[in-house]
Amino acid sequence: MTSNGTLSNTSKNTLRDVLTRLEKEGAGLGHFNVSDQVLLKAVVAAAAETKLPVLIGASEGERDFFGARQLAALVKSEREQSDVPLFLNADHTHSLAKALEAAKAGFDAVTIDFSALPFEENVARTKEAVQAIKAVNPAILAEGEIGDIGTGSEIKETAQGGKLSTPEEARQFVEATGIDDLAPAVGNMHGMLKSMVQGKAKKHLDLERISQIKKAAGVFLTLHGGSGTDDEHFRKAIAAGINIIHINTELRVAWRESLDKSLARDLNEVVPYKILRPVVDSVKQVVSSRLRLFHGQTVSPEAVETVA
């Protein structure tokens, strides 16, 4: 629970309002990706359980599977019944057409990602997309990306990425594009190594760099690829200026492991909601544990165990 107890009033607040409030409270907003309704149910249930706001994310691949408009309609429906704010982000959007599609479908935020292009081209394409989505909805939160943290929320053999962002390019990028929120490369990485899934290794962040980038950029900061990050580094990263934290691979690992277990429990079971209910519960535990951590609450060892 954050120090602000007026959650019933915050459901009408915009994403920007919630980010501003959380920043003052020294908390981070959890961003959790969903591919289907099982994952969506888990994220919404975790928000209800912890009474903390969440940002629900779907990348282009996840949106293609779910349906961008269908996902937006479901989140809108959940929001009407929720006591806590639920927001929706179009994660890793690589084209103007897809950014516009999400804005028109009613997404609260778009992660515009041209970070694989040379810097100048990234600036030009991001600026164009920011202007286009704000013409659809002026309140939409536009995020841009710089640096390289690899792609794909999957289990990996070797580490990816490595080109860290500098405060100077962060400042230039924000000024030139008009983004509201910057996703830099600060030691984070998409996906998890096997050793991280086993809980034997953790990601470590460049905390000093986060702090310098925050000063230079002067906007909200998002940490992508948060799965498998050391708990203490999360707390310090939020203190250094991170506002939104993306968790995807940890959810996918929990989804896969609990689905395998659930299917193996009774080979004659064919009722989908009986098979899937424990999967929702397992993913929910991971989301709740991360949400509590991002809000400075004590995370029980059992909850950490579930994540590992």
For the CB of residue 93, give the shortest distance to Zn ion in the complex, in Å.
Answer: 11
Position 94 contacts Zn ion (CB under 5 A): no
Interface with Zn ion (CB under 5 A), residue total 1
Judged on CB neighbours under 10 Å (0-12, 13-18, 19+), 136 is: middle
Taking the least distance from each CB to Zn ion, the nearer of 150 and 276 is 150
Taking the least distance from each CB to Zn ion, the nearer of 224 and 290 is 224
Taking the least distance from each CB to Zn ion, the nearer of 127 and 224 is 224
Q: What residue number has its CB nearest to Zn ion? A: 224
- Which one-letter DSSP state was computed for residue 151? S
| Candidate segments 19-27, 31-39, 218-226, 289-297, binder of Zn ion by CB under 5 A | 218-226
The closest of 68, 114, 58, 120 to 89, measured between CA atoms, is: 58
The closest of 137, 143, 135 to 55, measured between CA atoms, is: 143
Taking the least distance from each CB to Zn ion, the nearer of 48 and 286 is 286
Identify the H or E element spanning 204. Answer: none
| Candidate segments 19-27, 119-127, 192-200, 224-232, binder of Zn ion by CB under 5 A | 224-232
For the CB of residue 129, give the shortest distance to Zn ion in the complex, in Å.
Answer: 16
Residue 28 has phi, psi (to 5 degrees) of -115, 150
Taking the least distance from each CB to Zn ion, the nearer of 98 and 224 is 224
Alpha helices in the chain (DSSP H): 7-10, 15-25, 37-50, 60-66, 68-81, 96-105, 119-136, 167-177, 194-197, 207-217, 231-240, 249-265, 272-294, 301-307
| Candidate segments 134-142, 219-227, 268-276, 298-306, binder of Zn ion by CB under 5 A | 219-227
Taking the least distance from each CB to Zn ion, the nearer of 280 and 287 is 287
Residue from the set 79, 224, 284, 292 that interacts with Zn ion by CB under 5 A:
224
Residue 52, helix vs strand vs coil = coil
Q: Looking at beta carbons, which pairs linking 298-304 to residues 24 or more positions away fall under 8 Å?
A: 299/231, 304/231
With the C-alpha atoms ordered 238, 243, 246, 251, is the resulting torsion angle positive or negative?
A: positive
Tokens encoding 146? 């710089």
Residue 197, helix vs strand vs coil = helix
For the CB of residue 111, give the shortest distance to Zn ion in the complex, in Å.
Answer: 7
Site string for Zn ion, 178-217 (x = CB under 5 A): ----------------------------------------
For the CB of residue 225, give the shortest distance to Zn ion in the complex, in Å.
Answer: 6
For the CB of residue 237, give the shortest distance to Zn ion in the complex, in Å.
Answer: 15
CB atoms within 10 A of CB 278: 14
Tokens encoding 26? 């020294």
Site string for Zn ion, 128-167 (x = CB under 5 A): ----------------------------------------
Residues lying near Zn ion in the complex (CB under 5 A) are found at 224
